[in-house]
Structure 1
Amino acid sequence: MDGAMQQIAEALRQAERILIITGAGLSADSGLPTYRGVGGLYNGHTEDGLPIEAALSGPMLQLDPALCWKYLSEIGRACIAAKPNAGHAAIAELQRRKPGCWVLTQNVDGYHLAAGSPSQRLIEIHGTLGPLFCMTCGEPSEELTEHLTRPLPPRCTCGGVLRPPVVLFEEMLPESALGRLRDELEKGFDAVVAVGTSASFAYIVEPLLRARHSGGFTAQIDPSASELSLMVDVHLAVGASDALPQLVRHIFVD
């Protein structure tokens, strides 16, 4: 077994409180590109000549909902067409066998829940793609799938534009998710592992640094090195869907 893999497996075997932080690299093995954006698809400018950060922003959803929904719907179709992979399943198995294991995900595809991760130990920091709700009256609507066969933007019976409970560019992270993360960070984690993300957002960096400062174990599982690699005890340069099932097998070997 690879030395880095062995170190991570041994640390997770001994740990009670574990935080797995996941990003787009985990869902890449389901066929979703590791793109910029809310779940992604684009680098640079869209075919409308706008940066994706502008097209997929909260202000654009208000100003030109049809344009924003053009790209939201492409993300939705990509997520619906794919499914969770062996990495998601391995994390769900780890959570099943370690009741102190939490998942914090940047992904909006819903694959952790679909793979069996318990909702009470899952923090979707960027929200999800469904169910939709009305921006005018606040009433909930059907899941995204139902609306992708209809004209966009999707509309409520009141005439208002529908949107998913997802964090667009220029929007705040959901306070409920941040609050749950803060509460769990206060309790502390014995091990924090970043999987398939190279982002150095505060909500990723803080758990890693807190764990290190308190003598806990930290690791990154990602084929490429990044700023995060310098903050962790171990960097395992392997794709998530290959590494995670192996790790779980090693952790619970008899």
Structure 2
Amino acid sequence: MVVTGVEEARAALGEVIGLCGRIVAFTGAGISTECGVPDFRSKDSPWRRYKPIDFALFVSDVLMREEAWRRKFALDDICASAQPGRGHYALANLVANGKVSAIITQNIDNLHQASGVPEERIIELHGNGAYARCLSCGARYELQPLRRDFEASGAAPACFECGGAVKSATISFGQPMPQAALERAYQETVRCDLFLAIGSSLVVYPAASFPSLARQRDAKLVIVNGEETPLDSEANLVLRGDIGDILQPFAN
């Protein structure tokens, strides 16, 4: 069933949330666009101007590492004022009330954490762009001092501990997915009663396999998105419209 009216969508979502005991939320770029974070596929997306560097090139070529950091900081400037939106606060409220057990996210913007969701309830499939890590030893680095040093020297940062390459803690094209996060997402998905997919195009795999897995395990699937997705036909309920408008009542 596809619902397009805002009030009808809110009522339908409230009803299904009330009937389900264990809910997993799955979020994509659409939940953050109202916050000033551009999505990846829109026509004028800055991601088209600052295309990510393939992981193999980042590792093998210091010039590509330098270019990757230039693009990273340019994108950070575009998103510098982003704050959690209505969808983030709605999910934070549902987590706090014990309805949502985990948030599986494709996003790297750190806005679920900023909305107050405990770190242990967030499963980041594509990493997090709010800090960096050494690819060799895993040491964590904060971005502000890295940027200061990079802008002063132009050199890609290296690890103070082991000398390894330091990279934004996101998963780049060609980089292995985090197996621990994938396993956690799998376990949460197979145990849920309701899988709530919000703002995802549901075309990026393996992340997009989780909604189908939930349906295979007899969980309800609700998709909240502004556009059609390839999994709409599998869903019990599709709520099509502005994500913030639909989720706003659940933020209170």
Contact persistence 1:220–1:235 (CA under 8 A): yes
1:166 Cα deviation (Å)? 1.1
Contact persistence 2:222–2:238 (CA under 8 A): yes
Structure 1, unmatched stretches of 5+, are: 250-254
Alignment partner, residue 252 of structure 1: none
1:202 Cα deviation (Å)? 4.2
**Structure 2 SS opposite 1:165:** strand
> How far, CA to CA, are the matches of 1:36 and 1:86 in structure 2?
22
Q: 1:245 to 1:194 in 2, by over 3 A?
A: same
Alignment partner, residue 149 of structure 1: 148
| Letter matched to residue 198 of structure 1 | S
Q: 1:135 to 1:248 in 2, by over 3 A?
A: closer
> How far, CA to CA, are the matches of 1:145 and 1:78 in structure 2?
16
Q: 1:99 to 1:230 in 2, by over 3 A?
A: closer
1:181 aligns with 2:185: yes
Alignment partner, residue 139 of structure 1: 139
**Structure 1 SS opposite 2:192:** coil
TM-score (normalised: structure 2): 0.83
> How far, CA to CA, are the matches of 1:6 and 1:109 in structure 2?
29
1:15 aligns with 2:20: yes
Structure 2, unmatched stretches of 5+, are: 1-5
Cα RMSD, aligned residues only: 2.5
Q: Could you give the per-residue CA deviations for residues 97-123 of structure 1, whole angstroms, max 9, x where no partner exists?
A: 125521000000111011011222210
Structure 2 residue aligned with 1:28, among 27, 30, 33? 33
Contact persistence 1:21–1:204 (CA under 8 A): no
1:212 aligns with 2:209: no
| Letter matched to residue 40 of structure 2 | Y
Contact persistence 2:189–2:195 (CA under 8 A): no
Contact persistence 1:4–1:234 (CA under 8 A): no
Q: 1:136 to 1:213 in 2, by over 3 A?
A: closer
1:148 Cα deviation (Å)? 2.4
1:61 aligns with 2:58: yes
> How far, CA to CA, are the matches of 1:203 and 1:18 in structure 2?
20
1:164 aligns with 2:161: no
Which moves more between the two structures, 119-128 or 5-14?
5-14
Contact persistence 2:109–2:130 (CA under 8 A): no
> How far, CA to CA, are the matches of 1:212 and 1:160 in structure 2?
43
| Letter matched to residue 224 of structure 1 | E
Contact persistence 2:136–2:165 (CA under 8 A): yes
> How far, CA to CA, are the matches of 2:137 and 2:176 in structure 1?
21
The structure in which a higher percent of residues are strand is: 2
Contact persistence 2:101–2:121 (CA under 8 A): yes
Contact persistence 2:186–2:210 (CA under 8 A): no
